[in-house]
Structures are given as C-alpha cells and as structure tokens.
Amino acid sequence: MNRLPILTLSHISKRFAAQEVLSDFHLTINDGEFFTILGPSGCGKTTVLRLIAGFEQPNEGKILLNGEDIAGIPAEKRPVNTVFQSYALFPHLSVFDNVAFGLKMAEVDAQNIAVRVADALAIVRLSDFATRKPHQLSGGQKQRVAIARAVVNRPKILLLDESLSALDHKLRQQMQLELKQLQRQLGITFVYVTHDQEEALSMSDRILVMHNGQAQQVGTPREIYEAPRNLFVAQFIGEINVFDGEITRALGEYQYQAMINGVERDIRCDHRFAAGDRVHVMLRPEDLRIDCRPNVLERKGFPGVVLERNYTGQTLNSHIRLENGQAVTVHEFFDEDDPDFDYSINQKVGVDWVPGWEHVIPAERSGQA
Amino acid sequence: MKVLNFRRVAIVLTLVWLGLFVLVPHVLVVLTSVMSPDPQHLAVWPVTLASWERLFEPVYAEVFWRSLWLSTLTTAICLVLGYPFAYIVAKLPGVWRGVLLFLMIVPFWTNSLIRTYAIKLILGNKGLVNAALLGAGLVDEPLQLLYTPFAVVFGLVYVLLPFMVLPLVSSFDKLDGTLLEAARDLGAAFWARFRLIIVPLTMPGIIAGSLMVFLPAMGMFYVADLLGGAKNLLLGNIIKNQFLVVRDWPFGAAFSVALIVIMAGLLWLYFLANQRINRQGGLDDEGL
C-alpha cells in the first residue's frame, strides 16, 4: 500500500538533566498505518510518544505533522490523542463524561456530543456503561473507555502507551485483535509503544525497533523478523540461533563459502563480503532441522547432544549442545505420520538447515571458537 | 490470650477516659445551661430555659453573625493562600517538601498566645509595619491596624493556616499527575484543568482544611481579645466573658452548647460530602 507520511521527526534530540535520551533521532510515520515503536524499557520509546503528544519538548530537531512544524503547539492544541498506560480515566466523572471531555473542551454542542459519545461507546461495546463510574469497571472495560475517550475526538494520530500491558494474557490477545480492527475501521494512524515483541509483530503494519535512544531498524513485521539488521534486533525479536563464521571465498553474487564451527558451508546473503570477513549466520529455531539417524556417518549438520526437549502442544522444542559448546534451540512441528516423534536426552544428533534459510550479517562481536 | 486482654484493657481505658473527660463535662455543661444564674453559687436550681431564650436577643445575634463572618473570611483567606502553597509543597522533591512542612510546623513550638502577642508588636501603632511605612514615607501618621477586624482576621489566618495546608497537601499527594496530562491531551488548557480536574479531586482536602480552620476560628477568643479590642468579638469571647467576667454560667453554658451544635452540624455536612465524593470515586479510586 502506498501511503503518504503524516508525521516526521527529524534530527530530534532530547536530554533530561545530563542524560541524553534521544540523539539525532529520525522517524517517518505514514497516514493510516498501525505503527509500533518496540524496545526494552528505558530505550526512549515513551519519550518519542511524549514528544509527539506535546508533553515534552525536543532540545533539537523538528516534528512535522502534515508538513507543519508543531514544535510550538502545546499538547492541548495538538490534533493527537493518547491512550495512557494507566488509562488515566477521571475518577470523579462517569464513563459518558470521560468520553465527552475532549468534545466539551472543543466546544462541540451538547446534541453532537451525545451522538458522538454514543457512537464511540458503541464501537468499544460499552453502550450500557455510560452512567458508570471508572471504579465500577473491570480493567478491560477501563481500557475500552480510554480508547473511546481518545478516538471520539477524531485525532489525526492516536498514541497508545503500552496500553495493553496491564491486562492479563487472554484479555490482551483479545484487545490486540480489537485494536487492529478498530484501527482499520477508523482509518486513524495508530502509534503504539510496547516492549512486547509478540504484540508488535501481530498488530503492526510497520515496526520501529529502538535501543538506547537509537533507531535500530524500521520495517514490516516480516522484515524485522526474517531479516534483522543487527544482532540486537535479531535477539530482541523472537528467539534466534547465532553461528559465528568467517567468509572463505565468494562463489558468485551474494553467494559465499564460509567456515562455520569448523565446517565449510555455502551461504547466501544480500551483503557484500570479502574473504576473511567475520559474519553472524542466524537461524530461527523453526528453521533448523534435527537429523537423528543412528548412523553417525549418515547424519548431516553440526553434531551435538540433546540437552532438553519440551513439548508445547504445537511444537517440540529441543535444546542441543553442539560439540564446540554452543547451545542451540530447535522448534519442530509434529509429523502426524510419526506418532513416536521425540528425542531422548543425551541422544547424539546433527543440527542442520535448508540452504538459503540462513540470514547473514557482518559480525558485531568477536567470534567464539 | 494476652493480645485479647490487652485489647480489652485498652478499650476500657479509652472508654473511661472519654467518659470522665468528655462525656461528663459535656453533660455538666448542658445541665448548667438549663439552670438559673447566681452570682455566688454560679448556677442554682430551678431548671429554666431563660438562658436559651437570651441567645436570640439581637445583641447576640449580631455577635453571632459577626463571628460567622470573621471565621468565613479567615477560612476563605486561608484557602486562597494555602491552596497554591499546598500544591507547590506536594510537587516539590522530597527534601524541599520536608523543609517547607517543617518550617510550617516550627511555630507550633511556641504557644499561640505568645505568638498572638508578637502580632500585636508587629501591627501596633509603633510596631514594625507602621515603622516601615513611616520610614519609607508612604504614610504621614501611623495606620490604625491593631484593634480592627483586619487584625483579628490577620491573627486567625496566621494561627490557623497550617490546619488548612496539611489536609490540602495530602489531597494533592493523591492527585495523579497523569490525569492532568490526560486532560491536557484532551484539549483542556490550565483553567479548564484547574476547574474540572484539580478542584473536584482535591475537594476532600478543601472541605477538611476549611472545617479545621472555620471551627476553631469561631472560638479563638484570645486572638480577638488581644488584637480586636472590644468591638471585634468572636463567639468564644462571649462564652469566656460569661464564665469569667459576668459570672453568668448558665448563659455561658447555653452559648457553648449552641456552638457545639453548630460545629457538629458542620462536621455532619462534611461527613455527608465526603461520602458523596467517595461514592464518586474521588478519594479512593485510582489508588488501586
């Protein structure tokens, strides 16, 4: 889908006292997309949100909304609304008055307010709760009121600050689905901040991964998961096995031979390398295969020993220690034709992958023997 | 078993204490109020409602309204001064907050009677304020500050301000800053936030502080005695005079009971208001 940028942050830096939270930070968010800022706590993601909302001012840089610099506009006048992590519902006001608050501030007439609040409450399926007070609501209901209170103002951008983190697992999954549907239905740009990578992958059109105040990678969930640009992104999003290797020679365009754990292998990648370059060869647990043929000569891949195997229902997750001491994780789906599919602890196996499934990046740390 | 015994002993002791020093004196005051005055024996039988009837004499009604007015004014000034002060104290980082609260409490180490005398020195014709004004050439002759309603209200505000500030600070402590951000986010500028969020959510503190200023203000006779002269009486002055000067104990007692009833009425209103606010989730909610 081709979308136009609605919000641009350029050259943003933000310091609190002596601590630099963001430095020379750039970000472009497109109109109508579900954009997620993902990172561990303290990475600066909430600061980005607060800069967009207007609760913080950048020390340097520009924030453009539809091409207009909004740096000087106070939070109360920006056409963006926030769903707070703690919901921040006004405890002395009814659900109706909470949702109507923004419209009253905008001096919408009473009749219109009644209609729009009713609509917003219908969208979040809380029509029967208009007269309740926040303390009479469950966590999920409070969450919905907070969303209704924000979207009723028809903001250009809706900011969500770890909005689902206070809910229990099941409710959170349900709300993830609802949020995504809501976003599609309203067509409003959502900027969602979270530290939960699963949540980010399942809801977003695009994800920004942040670490230590730096943008690490921007891309679709698929790009982020399948082609992480660096070790941090690879390890933060899902599980990954990293093999350290060294390029021995080029075989053709984007095809190389590399020495990995003492074994020569062909690898494919979209970087350019020269012989002698150190690389990380990365494989998701579900991309690895275990060869458990009893004859050691027939077995393919890196030899190792089964340390542990966990049955999860969908997959069998095995932890293997390779001969060089490296631990790898392998997730395999059950083969319905083989009811006895399982390994025994200490069983000798080989760990292998289908050529081309690996993802290779230049080495960031010195290789281990 | 030991714990149980201790509890019993504690309850009995408290009851005995309250009975001896609160209930009995109050019963005595109520009894005295329906007796006849007697210069020599202070109060004698027979039972009469004469003292109670005298409460409605216009002279006393005037004092009552005047006293009510001075107390109301004192409360209003304390609120106006104390509200922003409490807000600032509550928002300050730990150390400064402690220092400010400490400074607020320090004057309590000196008896308030002595502090009232000190005000006399400040407001008198040859006091600090007039000396400064004369010295600066702002006035040609000393201003009459002492023995005016102004002096009484000044003294009352000075003595009672901490009682306004402390409950307000605790109310501001409970005020969640995120709610103010949420209000801003929804388009509320400062005054709208103040009117629609800050005031309603600190209402329990406003009511508690106002009562803690208003109720004692009605009775602080020595402040009015020292600073107000003969004209600016409070209800407390009348009661004191009836007991100590006129020696009409039944009338003094009737006045006391009337004052207690008024205060009890106000406390009851406070209780109702608090219940209402609590039901609205003003106090306990969001505390989670």
Cβ distance B192 to A55 less than 8 Å, yes or no, reads: no
B200 occurs within a structural domain: yes
Burial (CB count within 10 angstroms: exposed 0-12, middle 13-18, buried 19+), residue A200: buried
Give A303 to chain B, closest Cα distance, Å: 54
B287 occurs within a structural domain: no
Whole-angstrom distance, CA of residue A320 vs CA of residue A304: 6
B122 occurs within a structural domain: yes
- pLDDT > 60? residue B157: yes
B37 occurs within a structural domain: no
Contact by Cβ (8 Å): A49, A7: no
Cβ distance B280 to A134 less than 8 Å, yes or no, reads: no
B15 occurs within a structural domain: no
- The dihedral sign for the CA sequence B180, B183, B185, B188: negative
Please state the separation of Cα A168 from the chain's center in Å: 19
| pLDDT, position A339 | 62
Give me the domain span that covers residue B182. 53-279
Domains of chain A in sequence order: 5-235 (3.40.50.300), 241-362 (2.40.50.140)
Of A77, A88, A150, the CB nearest to B178: A88
Is the CB of residue A140 less than 8 Å away from at least one CB of chain B? no
Of B182, B192, B200, the CB nearest to A84: B182
B182 occurs within a structural domain: yes
Q: Which of A345, A40, A353 is nearest to A209 (CA)?
A: A40
B76: domain CATH number?
1.10.3720.10
In the block, which residue shows the tokens 């303390």?
A: A135
Number of domains, chain B = 1
Return the residue in A85, A89, A101, A159 with the most chain B beta carbons within 10 A, the one to mutate for interface testing.
A101
Helix (H, G, I), strand (E, B) or coil at A228: coil
Q: Can you tell me the ipTM of this complex? A: 0.81
Is the CB of residue A55 less than 8 Å away from at least one CB of chain B? yes
pLDDT in tens, chain A (369 residues): 557 889 999 999 998 888 888 988 999 999 999 999 999 988 889 999 999 999 999 999 999 999 889 988 999 999 999 999 989 999 999 999 999 999 999 999 999 999 999 999 998 889 999 999 999 999 889 999 999 999 999 999 999 998 888 788 888 888 888 889 999 988 999 999 999 888 899 899 999 999 988 899 999 999 999 999 999 999 998 889 999 888 888 888 888 888 888 888 888 888 888 888 888 999 999 999 888 877 777 778 888 889 988 888 788 889 999 888 888 999 988 766 666 667 888 888 888 888 888 898 888 865 443
B67 occurs within a structural domain: yes
Contact by Cβ (8 Å): B212, B164: yes
B17 occurs within a structural domain: no
In the block, which residue shows the tokens 């275990």?
A: A290
According to DSSP, residue B139 is labeled: -
Q: Please list every residue in chain A whose beta carbon sits closer than 8 Å to the beta carbon of residue B281.
A: 91-92, 133-135
